[in-house]
């Protein structure tokens, strides 16, 4: 039953005639909010500020559990002013930011210093990861209140955050005590080094052979065994191959393991990478058509629980260097949802699955209590989409500081019209129209 608000005054903001996800179904309701929280869901609610959502679909603000907003240390690639506006453009109201900064975020001091900078510029809500390192056991217990989770790099993907076997074990034990998720970049460093020796003529077209499916699967096997022995929750980031999915599937039933996928692994193959060039150089590598099909099947079957952007911008100049020098990573926070809406329009995925993987599951897995669903008392974060509006991805229309996309020129059906953060309309039809100070969703004090 849909409950009606029983309050005798006009709500501050009312979204009228919303087709939205409410208690397991898509329903047509009005949603009222005040002081940044949802306080009414029902029919014929009046308000001081009204947005008519007739013909549109309303998601809870999306949560992207994997971004690199590059602060501190690489502000020439991205910063929170640009990154968080790019998130709003993509319908995302909460991001979890990675620790491979300069300095790396490995202890309370570096975390709090990062937070000081982030809180000045963030205009979406956020959480910050701690990187797993040898320091992990000497950190105070209070740290658990400040972090989104622990990020563990099993290869030297970017920065030198490579975690050895001993550090991996400590990270899982610590995460279990802190009740935090260990988010893992799973690629086996030794296998990468061996593969590098095999291929003399390196180039973008063999990136997926150097960082092959076995390389990911070996790392996943190792990390699954650490997770199992400690009972900590493991989230395997950006899964990219059929082989890895097969390794992980038997463990999903435990409820202590999840995996995420990125749009670039869902929409591109190694053949596209060869055409796009270094802009599509990313780790884990983008693999074959067979792998891509397996990812879509796993996404549909709910084996994959999260869609994450791994927004990892670099400048064009950096990407224009030779293959061996060009850094890995590509931007994606503002193209994630448009690409998924287009996939919905093509019949590849249901709206319910997009909602689960971009809103509900990220909130559940990472323990973000006030977000990820539309219900009483939740944050009034909304992403209003027009499923029929066509758009083309053009670098001029993007908000990320890096100013390019590997999906440049893609023509999509489905578009984010408006993004609302805690009751404030921040993004509307191509422009940032207002901003609200982003808050750390893990409290921190």
Residue numbers of the site for ligand DOR (CB under 6 A)?
68, 100, 157-158, 185, 282-283, 312, 327-329
Phi then psi for residue 102, to 5 deg, are: -130, 105
Cβ closest to ligand DOR, residue 180 vs residue 185: 185
The two tokens of residue 311 are: 């927004």
Cβ closest to Zn ion, residue 10 vs residue 318: 318
CB of 412 to ligand DOR, least distance (A): 23
Cβ closest to Zn ion, residue 20 vs residue 283: 283
SS3 at position 413: strand
CB of 183 to Zn ion, least distance (A): 9
Cβ closest to ligand DOR, residue 185 vs residue 378: 185
Q: Which does 361 bind (CB under 5 to 8 A by kind): Zn ion, ligand DOR, none?
A: none
d(CA 404, CA 299): 27
The two tokens of residue 294 are: 């397996």
Q: Using DSSP bridges, classify how beta strands 57-60 and 11-22 pair: parallel, antiparallel or unpaired.
A: parallel
Decide if 422 contacts 436 (C-beta within 8 A): yes
Decide if 419 contacts 98 (C-beta within 8 A): no
Q: Which does 100 bind (CB under 5 to 8 A by kind): Zn ion, ligand DOR, none?
A: ligand DOR
91 backbone φψ class: left, alpha, beta (φ>0; ψ -120 to 50): left
Q: Which does 282 bind (CB under 5 to 8 A by kind): Zn ion, ligand DOR, none?
A: ligand DOR
Does the protein bind Zn ion through residue 310 (CB under 5 A)? yes
By CB atoms closer than 10 A (0-12, 13-18, 19+), residue 201 is exposed
CB of 157 to ligand DOR, least distance (A): 3
Stretch that binds Zn ion, among 176-184, 211-219, 308-316, 429-437 (CB under 5 A): 308-316
CB of 118 to Zn ion, least distance (A): 17
Residue showing tokens 């209070």: 142
Phi then psi for residue 441, to 5 deg, are: -75, -10
Does the protein bind Zn ion through residue 121 (CB under 5 A)? no
Q: Which does 283 bind (CB under 5 to 8 A by kind): Zn ion, ligand DOR, none?
A: ligand DOR
Does the protein bind Zn ion through residue 78 (CB under 5 A)? no
Phi then psi for residue 119, to 5 deg, are: -65, -20
CB of 133 to ligand DOR, least distance (A): 16
Site string for Zn ion, 196-225 (x = CB under 5 A): ------------------------------
CB atoms within 10 A of CB 243: 20
Cβ closest to Zn ion, residue 310 vs residue 440: 310
Q: Which residue is nearest to ligand DOR (CB)?
A: 329
Q: Which does 230 bind (CB under 5 to 8 A by kind): Zn ion, ligand DOR, none?
A: none
SS3 at position 31: strand
d(CA 309, CA 303): 18
Q: Which residue is nearest to Zn ion (CB)?
A: 310
CB of 55 to ligand DOR, least distance (A): 39
Cβ closest to ligand DOR, residue 5 vs residue 314: 314
Q: What is the DSSP letter of 349?
A: S
Decide if 238 contacts 260 (C-beta within 8 A): yes
Decide if 163 contacts 143 (C-beta within 8 A): no
Q: Which does 93 bind (CB under 5 to 8 A by kind): ligand DOR, Zn ion, none?
A: none
By CB under 5 A, the count of residues binding Zn ion is 1
The radius of gyration computed from the CA coordinates of the chain, to the nearest angstrom, equals 21
Cite the active site residues.
310
Residues at the site binding Zn ion, with contacts judged by CB under 5 A? 310
């Amino acid at each position: 039953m849909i409950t009606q608000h029983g309050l005798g005054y006009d709500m501050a903001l009312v979204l009228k005639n919303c087709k939205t996800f409410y208690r397991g179904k898509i329903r047509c309701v009005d949603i009222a909010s005040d002081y940044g929280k949802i306080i009414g869901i029902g029919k014929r609610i009046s308000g001081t500020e009204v947005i008519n959502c007739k013909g549109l679909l309303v998601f809870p603000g999306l949560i992207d559990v994997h971004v690199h907003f590059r602060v501190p240390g690489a502000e020439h690639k991205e910063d929170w002013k640009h990154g968080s506006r790019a998130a709003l453009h993509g319908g995302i109201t909460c991001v979890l930011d990675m620790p491979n900064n300069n300095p790396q975020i490995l202890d309370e001091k570096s975390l709090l210093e990062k937070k000081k900078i982030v809180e000045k510029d963030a205009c979406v809500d956020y959480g910050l990861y701690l990187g797993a390192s040898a320091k992990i056991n000497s950190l105070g217990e209070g740290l658990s209140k400040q972090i989104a989770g622990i990020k563990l790099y099993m290869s030297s993907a970017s920065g030198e955050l490579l975690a050895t076997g001993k550090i991996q074990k400590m990270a899982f034990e610590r995460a279990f005590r802190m009740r935090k998720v260990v988010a893992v970049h799973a690629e086996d460093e030794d296998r990468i080094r061996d593969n590098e020796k095999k291929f003399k003529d390196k180039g973008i077209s063999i990136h997926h052979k150097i960082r092959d499916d076995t390389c990911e699967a070996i790392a996943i096997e190792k990390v699954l065994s650490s997770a199992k022995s400690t009972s900590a929750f493991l989230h395997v980031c950006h899964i990219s191959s059929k082989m890895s999915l097969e390794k992980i599937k038997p463990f999903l039933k435990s409820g202590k393991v999840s995996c995420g996928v990125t749009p670039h692994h869902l929409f591109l193959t190694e053949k596209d990478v060869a055409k796009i060039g270094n802009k599509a150089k990313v780790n884990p590598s983008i693999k074959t058509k067979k792998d891509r099909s397996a990812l879509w099947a796993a996404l549909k079957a709910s084996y994959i629980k999260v869609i994450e952007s791994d927004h990892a911008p670099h400048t064009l100049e950096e990407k224009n260097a030779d293959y061996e020098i060009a850094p890995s990573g590509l931007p994606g926070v503002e193209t994630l949802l448009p690409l998924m809406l287009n996939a919905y329009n093509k019949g590849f995925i249901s709206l319910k699955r997009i909602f689960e993987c971009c809103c509900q599951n990220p909130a559940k897995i990472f323990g973000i209590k006030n977000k990820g669903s539309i219900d009483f008392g939740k944050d009034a974060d909304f992403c209003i989409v027009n499923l029929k509006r066509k758009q083309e991805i053009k670098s001029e229309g993007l908000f990320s500081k890096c100013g390019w996309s590997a999906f440049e020129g893609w023509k999509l059906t489905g578009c984010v019209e408006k993004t609302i953060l805690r009751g404030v309309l921040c993004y509307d039809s191509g422009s940032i129209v207002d901003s609200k100070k982003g808050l750390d969703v893990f409290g921190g004090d």
